Amino acid sequence: MKSVIFKKPGVFAYEDRPKPQITNDDDVLIKVLGVGICGSDLHVLMDPPMHPAKPDIIFGHEYCGEVAEVGPAVTNVRPGDRVIVDPHPPCGHCAQCRSDRPGQCETLYCQQDTPWPEHGVTRGLFADGALTSFTCVPAQSVYKVSSDTPYELAALAEPLSCVGYAIEKLDIQAGDTVCVLGAGPMGLLFAAMAKANGARKVIVSEPHGYRREKSLKCGATRVVDPTKEDLKQVCLEETDGLGVDHCIEAVGQLLQTAIDVVRPSGKVIMFGHDETAKPNIRLADIVRKEVQIFGGFLGKYYFEKTARIIESGILPLGEIVSHTLPLSEYQKGLDLLRAGKALKVIIYPED
């Protein structure tokens, strides 16, 4: 199988890899249909990297496919089913999983004591992923989605699961006000989910004009260029001087801004992931305003709901996918994203 292989920081290669085989009773062999290029992929391919990965693995963790073959113990899917895949399944046995914290599973790369272990289980970062023709995964990682779901939309399942799992912590109510910092693919998904959850105002802060325009098609009621406008003042104007009920930080370096724009006792989701960020925070603002700050990471046990959300058509997911490219043009996809000329790029195998 022609595959995209992560070699070292800043370097990937096209290599032929053998087609995986069913070896365990609960294995599912999947023909890959579409793979999203994630922001973390860009971070891995920086030198020095902003996100770790294991060398010589097949890249790509946001994907969907069609079941080609199943092991004898598999009952949740069958050959021919279109599926979405959780690339970082919890083990279910460690202390974190058994304490209802699957997003902190000890087999994942987010343990407190060893943040980036040499051998994690996340596919496409620490184990073979999906930028290839076929993958083989345990049945617990596979979720059926309607067969008429476009592959480029189904490939958004992993980021959408992360967004959905995180935004539920805010408990957005009908009539609430929300500010989203950053209008990359994740910020746009957050804006769309906030609007679908009943927010009456969704203010999106984004310096790039292309992304601001997309924000208006994804649920934003007002967009702000933070290089030219005072975002805090805009949020106050839009909320009768109170500040927004919720702020979603989807950049990775703007926690203080999020604290500034929420009302007293407002809620913040810190979702943007930047391993190098060390922002200065005025702790007194958190104390004085009694701001509630949540972290958002993985969408554990959310994929079943994600499949239903995608099928419903309630979110404008088509606005977020800007390009579909063959595997041989993976570098072009990276270039478009780095140049700010793309949102979500979906790669499809050519064989």
Residues 144, 36: one domain? yes
CA-closest candidate to residue 142, choices 206, 192, 68, 199:
68
Of 38-47, 82-91, 100-109, the poorest mean pLDDT is in: 100-109
Residues 327, 267: one domain? no
Residue 305: inside a domain:
no
Of 1-10, 90-99, 147-156, the poorest mean pLDDT is in: 90-99
Of 53-62, 96-105, 317-326, the poorest mean pLDDT is in: 96-105
**CA end-to-end distance (rounded Å), the chain:** 8
Q: Is the pLDDT of residue 94 over 70?
A: yes
Residues 32, 145: one domain? yes
pLDDT of residue 40: 84
Q: Is the pLDDT of residue 167 over 70?
A: yes
Q: Which two tokens stand for residue 114?
A: 């060893």
Residue 315: inside a domain:
no
Q: Which residues contact 169 (CB under 8 A, 6 or more apart)?
A: 267, 269, 294, 296
Instruction: Give me the mean pLDDT over the 126-143 stretch.
Output: 93
CATH number of the domain that residue 325 is part of: 3.90.180.10
Query: What values do phi and psi take at 29, rounded to 5?
Result: -90, 125
Residue 325: inside a domain:
yes
Residues 203, 224: one domain? yes
Residues 37, 134: one domain? yes
Rounded to whole angstroms, how far apart are CA atoms 346 and 206? 23
Q: How confident is the model at residue 118 (pLDDT cuts 50, 70, 90)?
A: very low
pLDDT of residue 43: 85
Q: Is the pLDDT of residue 115 over 90?
A: no
CATH number of the domain that residue 253 is part of: 3.40.50.720
Domain that residue 283 falls in = 162-295
Residues 204, 82: one domain? no
Radius of gyration over alpha carbons of the chain, in Å?
A: 20
CB 343 within 8 A of CB 324: no
Instruction: Give me the mean pLDDT over the 121-126 stretch.
Output: 78
What CA–CA distances, in Å, run from 119 to 11, 136, 185, 291? 20, 18, 28, 37
Residue 48: inside a domain:
yes
Q: How confident is the model at residue 121 (pLDDT cuts 50, 70, 90)?
A: low
pLDDT in tens, 51-90: 778 899 999 999 999 999 999 999 999 999 999 999 877 7
Residue 182: inside a domain:
yes
pLDDT of residue 109: 53
Residue 217: inside a domain:
yes
Residues 136, 176: one domain? no
Q: Is the pLDDT of residue 108 over 80?
A: no
Residues 6, 151: one domain? yes
Residues 144, 170: one domain? no
Instruction: Give me the mean pLDDT over the 216-243 stretch.
Output: 98
Q: Which two tokens stand for residue 285?
A: 């603002």
Residues 196, 233: one domain? yes
The model's pTM: 0.91
Last residue of a domain, one of 280, 295, 310: 295
Residues 12, 146: one domain? yes
CB 170 within 8 A of CB 258: no
Instruction: Give me the mean pLDDT over the 156-162 stretch.
Output: 95
Residue 13: inside a domain:
yes
Number of structural domains (the chain) is: 2
Residue 96: inside a domain:
no
Residues 209, 339: one domain? no
Q: Is the pLDDT of residue 112 over 70?
A: no
CB 297 within 8 A of CB 110: yes
Of 204-218, 246-260, 299-313, the poorest mean pLDDT is in: 299-313
Of 14-18, 41-45, 226-230, the poorest mean pLDDT is in: 41-45
pLDDT in tens, 288-298: 999 999 998 88
Of 76-85, 107-116, 118-127, the poorest mean pLDDT is in: 107-116
